[in-house]
Structure 1
Amino acid sequence: MSKVVFITGASSGIGKSIGEFLHQKGYKVYGTSRNPKTVIGSLFPLVALDVRNAESIKSAVNQVIAEAGAIDVLVNNAGVGITGPIEEIPADEIRNNFEVNFIGPIEVMKAVLPQMRAQKSGLIINITSIAGYMGLPYRGVYSASKGALELVSEAIRMEVKGFGINVTTVAPGDFATNIAAGRYHAPLVTGSAYEVPYGNTLKTMNEHVDTGSDPAEMAEAVYAIMQAGKPKVHYRVGAFMQKFSIVLKKILPDKVYEKMLMNHYKL
């Protein structure tokens, strides 16, 4: 029987690319969307799920198990971007970002783990971000939520290994998706102390997404991980310099690395 793959946030972008690729490889794919009825032409079934709502998560997971009889692979992909000066981002937006990017993926893992434990097998792939390895200016909240998911993945990986369940993370760099359109942007405030530097950084970030890599690269990376007998703790996918920036952070003095980032964002 084909393995069952459950992908959150699969109506567009990276999640959709992963779902289509795995569908074409013969996997039984279920994706999720907050509003599946508005999605036209999906190659695989979409189940209603809002990662901020525990009942929504439980209902979606139970539906897939009832229909398919298993969940072999969870791809925790649903996420949302956020930009702005820390000082000017409303607390409610910070909470929402952590609800979607950090607490939501944890709740989805909690919902699928009993089934995987009963199967004595399973693979959880948490989609994080290269931004989660460093505090990026005007993306600090996003960096923090994705970095938190990296760390909690390391912990739960050790907790569930004895049940035959593997957990890993995949950190993408900049990919050409619609994340920039969907992220929360703290408004550029005329006369704000951050008006010019934030405006310049925002322009640079959007250019990086517009010229980013093909999401198909992430789909191929996820497929390769699924074929691995013993997945690594972390994977990174993206342009060479984006991946190399993680290495540089480990070897460069903190202030040198900080200066490099500030030059990159023209600060």
Structure 2
Amino acid sequence: MSKVVLITGGSSGIGKAIGEYLTKKGCIVYGTSRSPQKYSDSCSFSLLRLDVLQPESISEAVSEIIKKEGKLDVVINNAGVGITGPIEETPSEEIKKAFETNLYGPIEVIKAVLPQMRQQKSGHIINITSIAGYMGLPYRGIYSASKAALEITTEAFRMEVQQFGIKMTNVAPGDFATNIAAGRYHAPVLDDSPYKTAYSNTLNMMNEHVDQGEDPKKMAAVVYKIIETGNPRIHYKVGASLQKFSIVLKRILPDKVYERMLLKHYKIK
């Protein structure tokens, strides 16, 4: 039987690429968006309204899928928000919003689908995190922290739900060519800021990395492979070799050596 898949944030970028790939592989895919009517003509799969900041919209979308299909096999928590800026100068409300979207939102989605998966005695929840979640990156500290929190939460959640036959996996992408930069919150570069030069240079570098990022289809292929794996790993990293190797270096290098490496990379004195 075809697997029924729910993808949050499925109207563009990595989420859309995953949805289109899984549809071609025979899955029944439901993507979500806060405004699905804007994208319905450009997607090859169904789009439902879902805002991860609104628990009632999560419940409604999940209930609609179960009513139509009678089951829910795979949930991919892809919806997220980018945020950059010196932590000192980042508005508190934007910090809270980032954590609400990148951490609390996925948790609410998981809580909404667990009763159905427990009843089925099966299911697979895949959380899209980030390679940035494995290290504190300058001027991306809040984003790194929110994704790191999701990584660790998944580790604990996974152990709690194994007894019900439910799998849970993290997939951490590096830089992919998507429109994430357009929707990212940027703390403004202030003329009188002590961080002005370093932050401005780092911001330009981050945008270049996204523009030169890899094809999201690569991410989609990995996600499909994970879904088809009987005993998936806890953590997967997908991206350029150097980005994945940076995680290895953090594990083996002394902290201050690794810090100097990052400072040199981002040209921060």
- Give the TM-score, by structure 1 length: 0.99
In the aligned structure 1, how far is the partner of 2:265 from the partner of 2:63?
A: 46
Which residue identity lines up with residue 173 of structure 2 in the other structure?
P
Q: Which residue of 2 aligns with 1:226?
A: 227
Which residue identity lines up with residue 28 of structure 2 in the other structure?
K
In the aligned structure 1, how far is the partner of 2:3 from the partner of 2:203?
A: 41
After superposition, the C-alpha distances for 1:1-50 in whole angstroms (9 at most, x for unaligned) are 21100000000000000000000000000000000011132100000000
Structure 1 SS opposite 2:42? coil
Are residues 1:236 and 2:245 paired?
no
Q: Please give the residue correspondences for 1:22-171 in structure 2 after superposition, counting only pairs within 5 Å.
A: 22-39=22-39, 40-171=41-172
Aligned length: 267
In the aligned structure 2, how far is the partner of 1:101 from the partner of 1:180?
A: 16
Structure 2 SS opposite 1:168? strand
Which residue identity lines up with residue 16 of structure 1 in the other structure?
K
CA RMSD after TM alignment:
0.5
Which residue identity lines up with residue 5 of structure 2 in the other structure?
V
Structure 2 SS opposite 1:62? helix
Are residues 1:206 and 2:202 paired?
no
After superposition, the C-alpha distances for 1:59-84 in whole angstroms (9 at most, x for unaligned) are 11111111111110000000010000
In the aligned structure 1, how far is the partner of 2:211 from the partner of 2:29?
A: 28
Q: CA deviation at 1:112?
A: 0.4
In the aligned structure 1, how far is the partner of 2:70 from the partner of 2:210?
A: 38
Structure 1 SS opposite 2:168? strand
Which residue identity lines up with residue 54 of structure 2 in the other structure?
N
Structure 2 SS opposite 1:29? strand
Structure 1 SS opposite 2:75? strand
In the aligned structure 1, how far is the partner of 2:96 from the partner of 2:58?
A: 19
The answer to which of 37-46 and 135-144 deviates more is 37-46
In the aligned structure 1, how far is the partner of 2:15 from the partner of 2:97?
A: 20
Q: Which residue of 2 aligns with 1:4?
A: 4
Runs of 4+ in 1 over 6 A off after TM superposition: none
Structure 2 SS opposite 1:136? coil
In the aligned structure 2, how far is the partner of 1:255 from the partner of 1:21?
A: 42
After superposition, the C-alpha distances for 1:78-127 in whole angstroms (9 at most, x for unaligned) are 00100000000000000000010000000000000000000000000000
In the aligned structure 2, how far is the partner of 1:232 from the partner of 1:41?
A: 33
Q: CA deviation at 1:263?
A: 0.7
In the aligned structure 1, how far is the partner of 2:178 from the partner of 2:264?
A: 25
- Aligned-pair identity in percent equals 67
